[in-house]
Chain A
Amino acid sequence: MSWAAHEFENYFIQKHLGTKVSFIAIAAGTSLSDFFTKKWVYSAADPPQFHRGWPGVGFTHSFIFGMVFALIALGVFRSRTWAVGLLIGQWAHVITDMCDTAGVMPFFPFSTEPLTIGMWKHAAVVGRHGDAAAYYSSLGGVWDFLWFVIVVLFARNVLRADYFRTVIVPADEKAWSAIGRWTRLSERGLLVLYRGYFIYGFARMVSWFLYARFDARTPLEAWWGSPSWVVANDLSSASAVEMVLRTAAGGVMFAAFWWLCWRLFVRRLWVRAGTPKGSLQPAVAAG
């Protein structure tokens, strides 16, 4: 699994979508998959199977899971900005989690073959602290750092106060004003909340890296498939070719399913939730 990368991705996605999506929806989308699973992963009898497999709750790391929440946003709240934000955020989480050895089932239920590039080991089997030490001793930690650098180099403008004022709030004015009312925070406080994922991601990346180096004292093995001291935990014995073929077949069926849903009802929901092009207002209140 990825750690701080999920937090940093939000800002990179935001940079490219501007007012077309709600930042809160992107952040909720990237958190969705683990929100329903992470609490129980470390106490599960077989953590990788539970977290990413089927049987298990691996369906939370599939594209269809994000689709369900996006459709709820579209159908119930009539908000395109939330639907797109949730979908893109959740899909980004799924794609990122393909990097570890447990992989994900992106096209569940059409394919239950875990798709993985095996960049680092899924190490939930050694407990939360062991998982952190393993992640920050492998390419996982490098992956987090890479996302941090990408945001700082290419998307740092989205962290500015004026960007928050002119893009983030107008894109989802209702939600931000509701948060302001509930928490009684000033604009500066809301800005801290907006930047929260970035500073939280950075703080825990540094904390866990230092924990791995000076407390757990695990060797730094920044190469493919590390760390060597964690047992391999691939969920499938299929070869790479089989994995690609099964996933491709699942992808074709998923695309056909998506097209059918679009024709049957999603297009109607999308039109109904329609916000005028260029509008800064979400369509939550429509109707």
Chain B
Amino acid sequence: MSEDRRDLLIYSAAIALYIVIGLFTKRLLSWNLAFLYFVVVIEVIPRTVRRLLGRRSAP
């Protein structure tokens, strides 16, 4: 999968999750917390997962 497509998938999933959480809790995060949420979901978590998977598959 190309990096662009993977990015698009991750961004879309993050936005969808944000919308679902907002609709269920009836509370939307303020802009600063929303930025934190997007950075964690789009960058920090995938990076951590990649790092863990990379470590596991390393010889």
A residues sitting closer than 8 Å to B (CB atoms) are 31, 129, 183, 185-186, 188-189, 192-193, 195-197, 199-200, 202-204, 206-208, 210-211, 214-215
Chain B interface residue number, banded: 10 to 19
Is B34 at the interface (CB under 8 A from chain A)?
yes
Asked if A192 and B39 make an inter-chain contact with CB atoms under 8 angstroms apart, the answer reads yes
Which of B23, B31, B39 touches A189 (beta carbons < 8 Å)? Answer: B39
Across the interface, name the chain B residue whose C-beta is closest to A35.
B31
Q: A206-B19, A210-B19, A211-B26 are in contact. Are A200 and B39 (CB under 8 A)?
A: no
Asked if B23 and A204 make an inter-chain contact with CB atoms under 8 angstroms apart, the answer reads no
Asked if B39 and A207 make an inter-chain contact with CB atoms under 8 angstroms apart, the answer reads no
B residues sitting closer than 8 Å to A (CB atoms) are 11, 14-15, 18-19, 22-23, 26, 28, 31, 34-35, 38-39, 42-44, 47
In angstroms, how far is the closest chain B Cβ from the Cβ of A165? Answer: 14
Q: A193-B35, A196-B35, A196-B38 are in contact. Are A207 and B43 (CB under 8 A)?
A: no
**Most B Cβ at <10 Å: residue of A193, A207, A214:** A207
Asked if B26 and A129 make an inter-chain contact with CB atoms under 8 angstroms apart, the answer reads yes
12 further A-B pairs in the complex, CB-CB below 8 A; given A186-B43, A189-B43, A202-B15? A31-B31, A186-B47, A192-B38, A199-B38, A200-B34, A200-B38, A203-B15, A203-B22, A204-B34, A207-B23, A211-B26, A215-B23
Contact count A vs B, C-beta below 8 Å: 57
A contact patch SS: helix
Asked if B19 and A193 make an inter-chain contact with CB atoms under 8 angstroms apart, the answer reads no
Asked if B26 and A199 make an inter-chain contact with CB atoms under 8 angstroms apart, the answer reads no
Q: When chains A and B are docked, how far (Å) is the Cα of A195 from the Cα of B31?
A: 13
**Most B Cβ at <10 Å: residue of A199, A202, A203:** A203
Q: When chains A and B are docked, how far (Å) is the Cα of A199 from the Cα of B43?
A: 14
Q: When chains A and B are docked, how far (Å) is the Cα of A202 from the Cα of B42?
A: 15
Q: When chains A and B are docked, how far (Å) is the Cα of A214 from the Cα of B16?
A: 17
Asked if A203 and B34 make an inter-chain contact with CB atoms under 8 angstroms apart, the answer reads yes
Asked if A199 and B15 make an inter-chain contact with CB atoms under 8 angstroms apart, the answer reads yes
Asked if A207 and B38 make an inter-chain contact with CB atoms under 8 angstroms apart, the answer reads no
